[in-house]
Amino acid sequence: MGDDEAGRAAEALIPQFQLERLLTQDQAGRRIVLLGSIDSKPAILLAERAAFASDDDHLSTFAASLEHIKNLGANDIYSWFLASSGVSNGASAAQQPPDLKLNLIYPCTEKHVKKYTTQRVRMVTETAETFAKHVRPYMQRNREEGRLNWVFNIIEGRTEQEDVMYREHGEEGFLVLPDLNWDRKTLTSLHLLALVERRDLWSLRDLTRNHIIWLKHMRQKLLDAATKLYPSIEWDELKLYLHYQPTYYHMHIHIVHAMLEAGTTQSVGKAFSLENIISQLEGMPEGKGMADVSLTYFLGEQNELWTNIFLPLKEGQGPSQA
């Protein structure tokens, strides 16, 4: 049998596959492994979404080729959608589940461009002194420039209320909504976001020993809320963590399924486990907190914290205003 003939014979096997059951779904829902049979013989079919074409010809027509675009929500300059990549199969195409999750930032800023540009990353150690002298003022300037408007819009009930899945008011008040990158269907890639109502906490740096009881209560409330929303998930199948540096300076906690594959956002140097933060605070003297310790994390080389603070410090110069 020649190579062409063997290839055609192999291709003919796929349409004959008879599904028995799903074995697993991973890579945030982008890969499935199916158990079935072909000609009454057991078979396993692995299916994974192919990589996007990156040549200019394909990219220039990508947006126009999308079909069945459905908006999931919008807030300030951020919008997110489900869509189908553009090859239609007639009337049945509308019946197919969307295969793309889209996030749109419009109008975007130069900071967005830098954030999403492929770049080298650097590990930095932020001492308590560096935080107090340089990073905390950078956070303050970001807040004063109105970069939290979209967060306050949600908390104050002006936007995205249809996406708020759970809410409690008070000193331990918070609301839960789906993370922009979750498809809202695949439970093993569950990713929720909890925004606290209080505004005195900007990041994990603001947490002190005095917050231990509050943090423990918050942890239990978040686990209760998530398992109430998704009864098939048990509390010990969930991970809770905070980012540092966070994308925005208002306290928020990520709630993800333990089986969600740990990409960059869950990696060392980005995600700090809520339980580990609590344990670290419990070992501190009275009056001390996360602002008093050194934290090591990574930054992209185009991040302002790198270009204006940590690179000059590395080169023995004084940081410029970030």
3 state SS of 63? helix
Q: Angle 275-279-282 (CA atoms, 0-180°, nearest 5)?
A: 140
In the numeric block, which tokens belong to residue 223?
Answer: 């686990």
DSSP structure class, residue 208: B
**CA 270, CA 203: separation in Å to the nearest integer?**
13
Closest CA to 239 of 222, 255, 263: 255
Is position 252 annotated as part of the catalytic site?
A: yes
Cα distance between residue 74 and residue 102, in whole Å: 12
- Contact (CB, 8 A) for 85 and 65: yes
Residue 26 token pair? 């991973």
* Cα dist from 241 to 109, 190, 298, whole Å: 28, 14, 16
Q: Residue holding tokens 């008040």?
A: 173
Query: At 275, is the secondary structure helix, strand, or coil?
Result: helix
Q: Residue 105: is it exposed, middle or buried by C-beta count within 10 angstroms (0-12/13-18/19+)?
A: middle
One-letter identity of residue 155: I
- Residues constituting the chain: 322
Residue 125: closest CA among 117, 138, 115, 135? 135
- 56 by Cβ neighbours in 10 Å (0-12 / 13-18 / 19+) ranks as exposed
Out of 134, 243, 252, 257, the active site residue is: 252
What is the β-pairing status of strands 238-243 and 67-75? unpaired
CA atoms within 13 A on the CB side of 6: 3
List, by residue number, the catalytic residues: 252
